[in-house]
Chains A and B, each alone.
Chain A
Amino acid sequence: MIGDWIDIGPTTQISPGNARTLPVQGGEEIAIFHTLDNQFYALVNKCPHKHGPLSQGIVHGNVVTCPLHSWNISLKTGEALGDDKGCVPTIPIREDAGRLYLKRDALVSAKAPEAMA
């Protein structure tokens, strides 16, 4: 089991309603969200639209609103909501004994789609 999941530290590092970032050397920066309902999600930190940093958006329910053009992205699926189309990769995350773990292979291989024109 150890090795499949990467320990990224205690859950208390991210206050509810906020996100923190985890750069991956040679890969995409990951945004880890903590919702007001106390759930944790991890996504590539790039809006499928124009690569806006989702970690800086307003979190409501389990949706984040991108800070650049207000696209709403589902934290669960990475899909753009409403009339917008696009999807950003999500990384499996789990919480165990007050610590957060990300799936290693997904973390390394996650790749954001090209930004839209």
Chain B
Amino acid sequence: MNAPNLVKIPEGDLRERLVVVGNGMAGCRAVEEILARDANRFAITIFGAEPRVNYNRIMLSPVLAGEKQFDDIVINTAEWYVENDITLVSGDPVVAIDRAAQTVTSASGRIEAYDRLLIATGSEPFIIPVPGKDLSGVVSFRDLDDVDKMLAAAANGGHAVVIGGGLLGLEAAHGLSLRGMDVTVLHLMPTLMERQLDEAAGWLLKSELERRGQTILTGADTAEILGKDGKVVGVKLKDGREIPASIVVMAVGIRPSTALARQAGLDVERGIMVDDHMVTSDPAVMAVGECVQHRGICYGLVAPLWEMCRSLADAAVSAPSGYTGSVTSTKLKVSGIDLFSAGDFSGGADCEDIVMRDAARGVYKRVIVKENKLIGAVLYGDTADGSWYFDLLKREEDVSDIREALIFGQAFAQGGGALADPNAAVAALSDDAEVCGCNGVTKGTVVSTIKGGACSLDAVRSQCKASASCGSCTGLVESLLKLTLGDDVKSGPKTLCKCTSFSHDDVRRLIVEKELKAIPQVMQELTWKTPDGCASCRPALNYYLLCAWPGEYVDDQQSRFVNERMHANIQKDGTYSVVPRMWGGVTTPNELRAIADAADKYQARLVKVTGGQRIDLFGIKKEDLPAIWGDLNAAGMVSGHAYGKSLRTVKTCVGSEWCRFGTQDSTGLGIKTEQMTWGSWMPHKFKIAVSGCPRNCAEATIKDFGVICVDSGYELHVGGNGGIHVRATDLLSKVTTEQEALDVCAAFIQLYREQAWYLERTAPWIERVGLDYVKAQLFDDPEAVAKLAERFHYSQQFMQDDPWARRAAGEDAELHQHLAEFRPFPTMQLKEAAE
């Protein structure tokens, strides 16, 4: 099948000679388009580097997966070349172009003259320059030879690593996985296919691939490929992890193959520069496909190639039409995973996001509308309407008439005027139509519940259970409320934020019940209305997950407020203040010297004693934070968490050891309490104090948890606040030993951590739920204190890890460093950028 057909041009042939460099999809399609317009215009010779006929490269994935054979993906058989009088020179790549002589030279030395030359060299895989990249067993995923190598490796089973979680990498991983290999995908970015998918869809894809047994490591930066005797044995990541592999597929991207054109002196930037008629800087030379750059864009998908080929043929043979660029869409060729993306989904102030999630079916749909036009779409789980959206997008059609129903798809939106209104569609449902699948509630039941007096979503949920479980039918219930009551619908309880119709309590409960363990998962399962949340819900969800799954949930730094991300307090001028922990307000001359030295060294502009009995250094630059923390760590001090929704300080008085009125060792108990509680993340900041006698010098009765020592033991107070609304504490209980005081403290904190709403201090929390409720939760069950305390201690083993020490050791260094510095005059110097 790969025998070249050397058709001799007959003597006296007056046709122009067209030489095509590249026997791939673009080159052959261009020839087909030319032949269709005028079969006798050119005498055509095609050079191909691969020793075979033209095949459909994008179908290599199904070949790897075993769903297709090579013969199935051949586009043009050997007969096609013969029938069309085309000379195919396969397995002999062109190595030089002489534009002056108008000839090309192949690797074997064959010289061919041309009147018109078409360069269609495509692209080549980008190989990341790491040690070991040339080992045997490291392959790319570009042609049939690569597939053969992967199949050979798969025949022996074992581990495969795919570097790159984009379209190509995931298709390679899927194929290898189906072939029985144990596959790990390494992706540099936090979400898969980040060019085509948003965070929500990327997360769904990742979970599905993991469910199928692949290991997906995101944020994975390859340091080197490990080898033994010249053969690959594994991959080492920059964080030190090593993954065994008998084959490594490098699929991090492609770049236009331009060496030949560059050598020939054609204009080349990223790709070979072409005009709208696919003509290069030399009028006799055309170029098409992935090797070209048109209006600044290089394409790596097949649809634009077809459009380019049409314009090329129009210009070369008939009437020039001009190619103006392509809008592209993406589908992943992994069986059983429906995924579609097109256009611009970056959103914007003038854009409107319409999101629909169906947790039960694993569906996420998002369309982006701007100025009444659809400009982008991301679909996961149900892509039936992908082509319709893509069509609307390409035709720039005005969608204002179908705006309300757009997200429900073509059938719905075009189902006539009445149905274009979702409320009308719900009205059209029959009474026995099931509205809530989780609890088996019909439309009739919901409507009669509403007519029976349930005037809010919450009331409907509590009375007939519709939308009380997974919540994916919330929109339907809301429509029914509106249809039944008109404007008399009462708004439900305060929702967590505008991105959801669930309250804080619901979200917390569902996270635990449904075992939701990641922010995108919560958003999908609880049908968030926005693609990636907002500045209110992201931090709340991050905390709720951290609290629900200690040791398991990985903190999402991007969902933290600046102070918690920087482990310091931002000030109005953008500098930070730094507060080292002083256990129970007790310090030493050595610590004070270290603080004084740090204040000098990092030019603190103010040194102030805080209300929490410690010292605050103001005016520290973000670049200096890791260094000052390192210095303070060296003197034995750790982060004071003066910046966090977390345990702040334990304020103490000197107590029985020094004070003539002191009844107990309040300082000692304060230190023990702080050592037990430091580092714990909370719904809001949390302050503790221990006073040695009822004179209460430590002001324990305006703290979240306050201890007043008395002769007979310890009075434990909760819910105090010295802020805008001063609130004195409520007496929670009285205990006789230090240990009991510590146990109740741990239990109370855990109850608050597990039940309060994010950004709710203990004072408003207790006012909301009532002191009696708190007491009942702690003391009705004699085991309750111990159980809560145990959960708190379990969580603490993961939390009591000084964040300063990790940063001082270099973790997340980029948070503290400028990207570079730009000096426009007189010389430019880019520190990190210049590489």
The interface of chain A, by Cβ under 8 A from chain B, is 1, 6-10, 12-18, 20-27, 30, 32, 35-39, 50-53, 56-63, 65, 67-68, 70, 72, 74, 76-77, 79, 81, 96-98, 104, 107-108
A68-B819 in contact (CB<8A): no
A9 to chain B, nearest CB (A): 4
A108–B822 Cα gap in the complex (Å)? 9
Q: Which of B199, B353, B570, B819 contacts A22 (CB 8 A)?
A: B819
Write 28 A-B pairs (CB below 8 A) sorted by A numbering. Answer: A1-B269, A6-B822, A6-B828, A7-B830, A9-B835, A13-B832, A15-B219, A15-B814, A22-B819, A22-B820, A23-B818, A25-B822, A27-B822, A27-B824, A36-B198, A38-B189, A50-B572, A53-B570, A58-B539, A58-B561, A60-B533, A60-B534, A62-B347, A63-B534, A65-B535, A67-B561, A67-B563, A104-B824
A16 to chain B, nearest CB (A): 6
A108-B824 in contact (CB<8A): yes
- Tell whether B833 is near chain A: CB-to-CB under 8 Å: yes
B535-A60 in contact (CB<8A): yes
List of A residues within 8 angstroms of B346 by Cβ: 35, 37-39, 62, 76
A58-B189 in contact (CB<8A): no
- Tell whether B566 is near chain A: CB-to-CB under 8 Å: yes
B194-A21 in contact (CB<8A): no
A8-B270 in contact (CB<8A): no
List of A residues within 8 angstroms of B559 by Cβ: 58
A83–B444 Cα gap in the complex (Å)? 42
Q: Which of A61, A76, A97 contacts B353 (CB 8 A)?
A: A61
A9-B833 in contact (CB<8A): yes
A8-B830 in contact (CB<8A): yes
B575: nearest chain-A partner, CB-CB: A53
Q: Mark B546-588, 1 if CB is under 8 A from A, else 0.
A: 0000000000011111110110001010100000000000000
- Tell whether B255 is near chain A: CB-to-CB under 8 Å: yes
Within 8 A of A (CB), among B269-311: 269-270
B529 to chain A, nearest CB (A): 12
B530: nearest chain-A partner, CB-CB: A61
A109–B673 Cα gap in the complex (Å)? 55
A24–B823 Cα gap in the complex (Å)? 6
A8–B819 Cα gap in the complex (Å)? 8
Q: How many A-B residue pairs have CB under 8 A?
A: 160
- Tell whether B72 is near chain A: CB-to-CB under 8 Å: no
Q: Chain B CB within 10 Å — which of A38, A72, A98 has the most?
A: A38
List of A residues within 8 angstroms of B561 by Cβ: 58, 67
Supposing A13-B819, A56-B562, A97-B255 touch, asked if A25 and B349 sit within 8 A by C-beta, the answer is no
A38-B195 in contact (CB<8A): yes
B200 to chain A, nearest CB (A): 9
A56-B189 in contact (CB<8A): no
A16-B194 in contact (CB<8A): yes
A22-B822 in contact (CB<8A): yes
Within 8 A of A (CB), among B22-44: none
List of A residues within 8 angstroms of B347 by Cβ: 37, 61-62
- Tell whether B431 is near chain A: CB-to-CB under 8 Å: no
A22-B818 in contact (CB<8A): yes
B819-A9 in contact (CB<8A): yes
Q: Which of B560, B574, B824 contacts A53 (CB 8 A)?
A: B574
A37–B503 Cα gap in the complex (Å)? 27
A74-B572 in contact (CB<8A): no
B818-A21 in contact (CB<8A): yes
A74-B348 in contact (CB<8A): yes
List of A residues within 8 angstroms of B570 by Cβ: 52-53, 56, 67-68
List of A residues within 8 angstroms of B639 by Cβ: none
A9-B821 in contact (CB<8A): no
List of A residues within 8 angstroms of B833 by Cβ: 7-9
Q: Which of A12, A25, A58 contacts B558 (CB 8 A)?
A: A58
Q: Which of A37, A38, A67 contacts B562 (CB 8 A)?
A: A67
B349: nearest chain-A partner, CB-CB: A74
Q: Mark B142-164, 1 if CB is under 8 A from A, else 0.
A: 00000000000000000000000
- Tell whether B532 is near chain A: CB-to-CB under 8 Å: yes
Supposing A7-B830, A27-B824 touch, asked if A72 and B535 sit within 8 A by C-beta, the answer is yes
Q: Which of B558, B814, B830 contacts A59 (CB 8 A)?
A: B558
B497 to chain A, nearest CB (A): 11
A16-B191 in contact (CB<8A): yes
A72 to chain B, nearest CB (A): 7
A16–B348 Cα gap in the complex (Å)? 16
List of B residues within 8 angstroms of A8 by Cβ: 819-820, 822, 830, 833
A76–B117 Cα gap in the complex (Å)? 43
- Tell whether B825 is near chain A: CB-to-CB under 8 Å: yes
Q: Which 7 A-B pairs have the closest CB atoms?
A: A17-B558, A9-B833, A65-B535, A67-B562, A74-B349, A39-B346, A56-B562
Q: Which of A9, A12, A96 contacts B830 (CB 8 A)?
A: A9
Supposing A16-B190, A17-B558, A20-B814 touch, asked if A81 and B349 sit within 8 A by C-beta, the answer is yes
List of B residues within 8 angstroms of A59 by Cβ: 558
A36-B532 in contact (CB<8A): yes
List of B residues within 8 angstroms of A25 by Cβ: 821-825
- Tell whether B538 is near chain A: CB-to-CB under 8 Å: yes
A111 to chain B, nearest CB (A): 14
List of B residues within 8 angstroms of A76 by Cβ: 346, 348-349
Q: Which of B194, B199, B531, B825 contacts A26 (CB 8 A)?
A: B825
A20 to chain B, nearest CB (A): 4
- Tell whether B345 is near chain A: CB-to-CB under 8 Å: yes
List of A residues within 8 angstroms of B533 by Cβ: 60
List of B residues within 8 angstroms of A24 by Cβ: 821-824
Q: Mark B76-112, 1 if CB is under 8 A from A, else 0.
A: 0000000000000000000000000000000000000
Q: Which of B269, B353, B821, B828 contacts A23 (CB 8 A)?
A: B821
A58: nearest chain-B partner, CB-CB: B535
A64: nearest chain-B partner, CB-CB: B535
- Tell whether B188 is near chain A: CB-to-CB under 8 Å: yes
A37-B198 in contact (CB<8A): yes
Q: Mark B795-835, 1 if CB is under 8 A from A, else 0.
A: 00000000000000000001101111111110010101101
Supposing A36-B532, A58-B558, A60-B534 touch, asked if A23 and B348 sit within 8 A by C-beta, the answer is no
List of A residues within 8 angstroms of B348 by Cβ: 62, 74, 76-77
A66 to chain B, nearest CB (A): 9
Q: Which of B219, B253, B566 contacts A56 (CB 8 A)?
A: B566
B793 to chain A, nearest CB (A): 31
A15-B190 in contact (CB<8A): yes
Q: Which of B188, B572, B818, B822 contacts A20 (CB 8 A)?
A: B818
A110 to chain B, nearest CB (A): 11
A52-B572, A61-B347, A62-B346 are known; give 4 further A-B pairs, CB within 8 A: A27-B824, A35-B346, A56-B574, A76-B349
B425 to chain A, nearest CB (A): 28
A26-B562 in contact (CB<8A): no
A77–B566 Cα gap in the complex (Å)? 27
Q: Mark B518-539, 1 if CB is under 8 A from A, else 0.
A: 0000000000001111110011
List of B residues within 8 angstroms of A98 by Cβ: 253
B349-A79 in contact (CB<8A): yes
B818-A60 in contact (CB<8A): no
A20: nearest chain-B partner, CB-CB: B819
List of B residues within 8 angstroms of A26 by Cβ: 823-825
A57–B270 Cα gap in the complex (Å)? 35
B817: nearest chain-A partner, CB-CB: A20
B758 to chain A, nearest CB (A): 14
B820-A107 in contact (CB<8A): no
A15–B819 Cα gap in the complex (Å)? 12
A53–B255 Cα gap in the complex (Å)? 37
Supposing A16-B194, A37-B198, A61-B531 touch, asked if A22 and B821 sit within 8 A by C-beta, the answer is yes
B293 to chain A, nearest CB (A): 10
A51: nearest chain-B partner, CB-CB: B574
B190-A23 in contact (CB<8A): no
B538-A60 in contact (CB<8A): yes
List of B residues within 8 angstroms of A38 by Cβ: 189, 194-195, 346
A72–B497 Cα gap in the complex (Å)? 15
Q: Chain A CB within 10 Å — which of B190, B561, B818, B822 has the most?
A: B822
Within 8 A of A (CB), among B479-537: 530-535
